[in-house]
Copies of this chain bind each other. A is one copy, B any other.
Amino acid sequence: MIIVMKPNAEKREVDHVVEKVEEVGCKAILLEGTNRKVIAVIGDKRDISAGFWDAIPGVEKAVPILTPYKIASREVKKTSTEIKINDYILGGRKIGIIAGPCAVESQDQINFIAERVKKAGAIALRGGAFKPRTNPYSFQGLMEEGLEYLAKAREATGLAVVTEVLSPEHVGLVSRYVDVLQIGTRNMANFLLLKAVGEGKKPVILKRGMSATLDEFLLAGEYILSQGNPNVILCERGIRTFETHTRFTLSLSIVPQLKKLTHLPVIVDPSHGTGVRDLVLPMSKGAIAVGADGLLIEVHPDPEKAFVDGPQSITIEEFESLMEESRSISAAIGRYI
């Protein structure tokens, strides 16, 4: 931490900061600049935020040197984490495609989709049983019935199943049925939920909050890791910006940046990340090209009849083309699907 004092900070204020630094077990080095006094704090105390120092009289600002996360950092663990999802590994050379409808609608629907996406090469089936809906009057999901359908689709196809969990109290129930838990963008900072999924061992797909910075995203991952669950998959799914031609702005540059800073696998959701069906294919190819370890794709046999998020769902035929084209891109960068 570097603590910059106000231009007119008094000597006793500077002394007081130095004392505080020593109180928390760090070493203080006072630097007398031309216009400012600056105190360098030596010692690894990431749990003390910049805000702690900012609140002290005479301090202009505190600038952190170290990242606030630690377990998630590639400095701490240099090798990439590979996460087992049934028979597949996410985070290695193979790019893992997870596909399925936004919401589970019936046993027939989910089985039909499962068989088709499996045949096309998906490694797992996604489908929502509990749906967080902005509009209280919209369809809220089949809940436990949906989980049962997912479990049966797994039996029928052997595909791992992925579903979103909305509340700490559902973690136990959902974990009994599915292979991978998903934390949605609106819950990335639901810290009780992060803790709850961190206490188990099921892999967790953690979606980036739509207004989360890279540091906040990795800190949310750290929450889960710090409870003992090492199986965290990060998922870029679009951020909120001033753009209106898409529902969100899919920020692909975070993928290579995350791969540099963390050992965790990083996947991309181009369906929610754009909200526009026509953009799912090109942005899938873009995601693979920038280095994503996998994709999360919404597929529906008849998007017009989808209960939820029809405009961004692609048909099964479109998904088959997407797999085809993604295979070429993957090969071009030395990976495969």
Shortest A183–chain B CB gap in Å is: 12
Determine if A57 is an interface residue (Cβ-Cβ < 8 Å).
yes
Contact mask A44-77 → B, CB, 8 Å, 1/0?
1011010110111100000101101000000100
Q: Identify the stretch in A84-92, A104-112, A127-135, A147-155 within 8 Å (CB) of chain B at 4 or more residues.
A: A127-135
Query: Which residues on B sit within 8 Å (CB–CB) of A250?
Result: 251-253
Contact in complex: A135, B289 (CB < 8 Å): no
Contact in complex: A245, B219 (CB < 8 Å): no
Shortest A229–chain B CB gap in Å is: 12
User: Please, which residue of chain B has its CB at the minimum distance from the CB of A247?
Assistant: B51
Shortest A105–chain B CB gap in Å is: 14
Determine if A304 is an interface residue (Cβ-Cβ < 8 Å).
yes
Q: Which of A131-170 contact B (CB under 8 A)?
A: 132-138, 140, 166-169
Determine if A244 is an interface residue (Cβ-Cβ < 8 Å).
yes
Query: Which residues on B sit within 8 Å (CB–CB) of A287?
Result: 286
Contact in complex: A240, B240 (CB < 8 Å): yes
Q: Which of A316-336 contact B (CB under 8 A)?
A: 325, 328-329, 331-333
Determine if A120 is an interface residue (Cβ-Cβ < 8 Å).
no
Query: Which residues on B sit within 8 Å (CB–CB) of A172?
Result: none
Shortest A96–chain B CB gap in Å is: 18
Determine if A29 is an interface residue (Cβ-Cβ < 8 Å).
yes
Determine if A4 is an interface residue (Cβ-Cβ < 8 Å).
yes
Query: Which residues on B sit within 8 Å (CB–CB) of A276?
Result: 253, 257
Q: Which of A87-131 contact B (CB under 8 A)?
A: none
Query: Which residues on B sit within 8 Å (CB–CB) of A285?
Result: 289-290, 333
Query: Which residues on B sit within 8 Å (CB–CB) of A166?
Result: 190-192
Contact in complex: B282, A286 (CB < 8 Å): no
User: Please, which residue of chain B has its CB at the minimum distance from the CB of A327?
Assistant: B332
How many Å lie between the Cα of A65 and that of B35 in the bound state?
9
Q: Known interface pairs A34-B42, A56-B304, A63-B63. Does A283 touch B253 (Cβ–Cβ under 8 Å)?
A: yes
* 14 extra interface residue pairs, beta carbon distance < 8 Å, beyond A136-B226, A166-B192: A55-B310, A136-B223, A167-B169, A211-B211, A213-B243, A239-B241, A239-B243, A241-B251, A245-B254, A249-B249, A252-B252, A286-B287, A289-B329, A332-B332
Question: Can you list 15 A-B contacts (CB < 8 A)?
Answer: A132-B190, A134-B189, A134-B220, A136-B219, A136-B222, A166-B192, A190-B190, A211-B211, A213-B244, A239-B241, A239-B243, A243-B251, A256-B278, A285-B290, A329-B329
| Chain A residues with a Cβ under 8 A of chain B | 2, 4, 7, 29, 31-36, 38, 40, 42-44, 46-47, 49, 51-52, 54-57, 63, 65-66, 68, 75, 132-138, 140, 166-169, 186-187, 189-192, 194, 210-211, 213-214, 216, 219-220, 222-223, 226, 239-246, 249-257, 260, 273-274, 276, 278-279, 282-283, 285-291, 303-304, 306, 309-311, 313, 325, 328-329, 331-333
